[in-house]
Amino acid sequence: MNQLDQLKQFTTVVADTGDFKQLAQYAPRDATTNPSLILKAVQQSAYAPLLSETVAAHRGRPLETVVDAVLVRFGCEILRIVPGRVSTEVDARLSFDRPATLARARHLIALYRAQGVAPDRVLIKIASTWEGIQAAAELEREGIHCNLTLLFSFAQAVACADAGVTLISPFVGRIYDWFKKAAGAGWDESANAGTNDPGVRSVSRIYQHYKHHDIRTEVMGASFRNVGQILALAGCDLLTISPDLMAQLQKGSDTVTRRLDPAVAKAEAVPAVHYDEPQFRYAHNDDAMASEKLSEGIRAFAADSAKLDQLVARER
């Protein structure tokens, strides 16, 4: 078997793309999107009719309503291809606004329902701020399943578990980027590869904590820079992978070894950890990498959301 098929023996493979025309060849179970991926897709000529049709069908409605309709249209097209779930993201500009996050998430689910898509096939992506995590806790109680994204710190992972969210997306590549940049000329690529990669170590720690304490929240490694990071997390509950990296895995033939195992995590000594709000804010702030990357990620997604707004507004 190729490496992609081998990986699927240990881990649920998820496609990280808005370009749904690429999906079938890799046979992922789920798919994830974000503002940057949708923005990239709608600027391709292949998706111009989809954008125009969706905007025309909602002409005269508020801009945010039309944008949500575009996101859901992409989600529905993806769900025609994958057998599992699609993740659709709440506007990153609402990351510190709990009531607005709740309203936007409920609206997205209502749009999916109107298209005949059951809520259990949708994950609402929300940034892992304290406000976002608390909004997700409320949504989960309503039966709306959430994917907490832009997750960089152990404190974020602990708070998400306590909130009972369905899934978290700890970012691997962006953590790697931060440490590589911080080390500058002193960075040793070979010494920080594979299981020693700082992003891989972060996800592994979260996975071990969750499995040891029987936490039901799923761990989905995200934001990969290379195939080595993916293979170092073989055995993680899910991994969301770009089409380019899935293509590389599909061409690879080396043996894939399971790296993360719930039985091993269960046998290790892993202390229980919980945070109230002040403890969470301090612990996350005390992690320079995590606090910087969360802020940077929100700004980047917000900027791409604003660009998507502009494209939709021009179509109106």
Annotated catalytic residues are 125
Inter-residue contact 86 to 79 (CB < 8 Å): yes
Inter-residue contact 30 to 12 (CB < 8 Å): yes
> Other CB atoms closer than 10 Å to residue 255's CB: what's the count?
9
Rounded to 10 deg, the angle between the 277-285 and 154-163 helix axes is 150
**Closest among 77, 94, 91 to 31, alpha carbons compared:** 77
